[in-house]
Amino acid sequence: MIKPHGSEQLDARFIADSQERETLAKEAETLPALLLNSAAAANAVMLGAGYFNPLRGYMNLADAMSVAETLRTVDGLFWPVPILNLTNEPGIAEGSRIALRDPNVDGNPVMAVMDVESVESVTDEQLDFMAEKIFRTLDPQHPGVATFKSQGNTLVAGPIRVLSLSYFKSDFPDTFRTAVEIRDEIAQRGWNTVVAFQTRNPMHRAHEELCRMAMQDLNADGILIHMLLGKLKPGDIPADVRDASIRKMVDIYFPENTVMITGYGFDMLYAGPREAVLHAVFRQNCGCTHLIVGRDHAGVGDYYGGFDAQTIFDEEVPEGALELQIYRADHTAYSKKLDRVVMMRDAPDHEKDDFVLLSGTAVREMLGKGIAPPPEFSRPEVAQILMDYYQSIDG
């Protein structure tokens, strides 16, 4: 199986041994506490689940600035996005041991114990520098920029041991999986070539066929449909609805033992190209050999060019930095001429009207009125789940 990123073995920061976990949990109740923001809590989940291997905790300012500028830590580890614990809470001492509390669960239980290696003030100019590098904009209307700039100006760095993976296991017991669990299941299935499909949306016909195209082109053993289960921007479809619609599609339209439906506990960054590279890093940690990177991958609005998330792998990712390879996808749509879904680049003789193209706004309006999109766009069984959802919120 493909090696994890940056190490021979996966170092998940979650304490798997129940007795050791219980001992540390008791100690945590006696420690000074820091209530995390949601972004820092999501980072703790990803560290705990092994997705951010080989990182052992939160980055200090030097590493954060270096990663933002060069996609490498000070020691030279390839990494695309700073992994931070920003706060405005005073009184955290360097060299101390603290309990990190979960902002997303009632009662704010302890989710990790941290050995604080450094506590540093971050200037607004340094935050702007990092934000501009990560998001390619400082527009406060960009949801990722707004979140990043609102977390605080104190950077608390150091390794963590994770006691809880937050609400993800309880809210999504059939879907949330750690990188360790995914690697184990890939091994059990006997898969070697595994293609990851990233999604924060329900899957329409174009997405479904894109997975098939990638499997066929790469002679892959299986597809990992890997959905984000954390926080999104207002208006995005909730994870449970996406989960139900994707499961319905796979159950009906894919052969058995060709698809794993899983999810990961992270808040969406909307960082476009940089987030695409982060997706590649942690899919390698999952055991995937390829990641589908399509048009406007991890984008939002018009902040990124349609294929910037592909070109970053040519222009900024050094050769050999990742073992995982990307599968480059064009915009995919149903061709009325050919009576099947194609990548637009493979149909140079087509005009725009030769494709079934619907905007997200148009689809949402149809679903809200109980009108199913055409079957060339969305499977009827998937459309029904989405119609039920939109009518429930509109009603």
Surface-to-core class of residue 173, CB atoms within 10 Å of its CB (0-12 exposed, 13-18 middle, 19+ buried): exposed
In whole angstroms, how far apart are CA 384 and each of 202, 208, 341?
12, 17, 21
Q: Which amino acid is at 73?
A: T
Rg (CA), the chain: 21
CA dist 122 and 262 (Å) reads 36
Other residues' Cβ atoms within 10 Å of the Cβ of residue 209 = 19
CA dist 180 and 208 (Å) reads 26
Query: Three-state DSSP class for 291?
Result: strand
Q: Dump strand ranges (E) for 139-289.
A: 154-162, 194-199, 222-228, 259-264
Question: 33 phi and psi, to 5 degrees?
Answer: -115, 150
* Terminal Cα distance for the chain, rounded: 49
Residue 155's nearest CA partner among 128, 129, 117 is: 117
Determine the Cα angle at 390 with ends 384 and 393, to 5°: 140
**Would you name the residues annotated as active-site residues?**
200-201
Residue 42's nearest CA partner among 106, 91, 104 is: 104
CA dist 3 and 286 (Å) reads 9
DSSP state of 176: B
Q: With left for phi above 0 and alpha for psi between -120 and 50, is residue 190 left, alpha or beta?
A: left
What is the 3 state secondary structure string of 104-121? CCCCCCEEEEEECCEEEE
Pairing status of strand 154-162 against strand 110-115: antiparallel
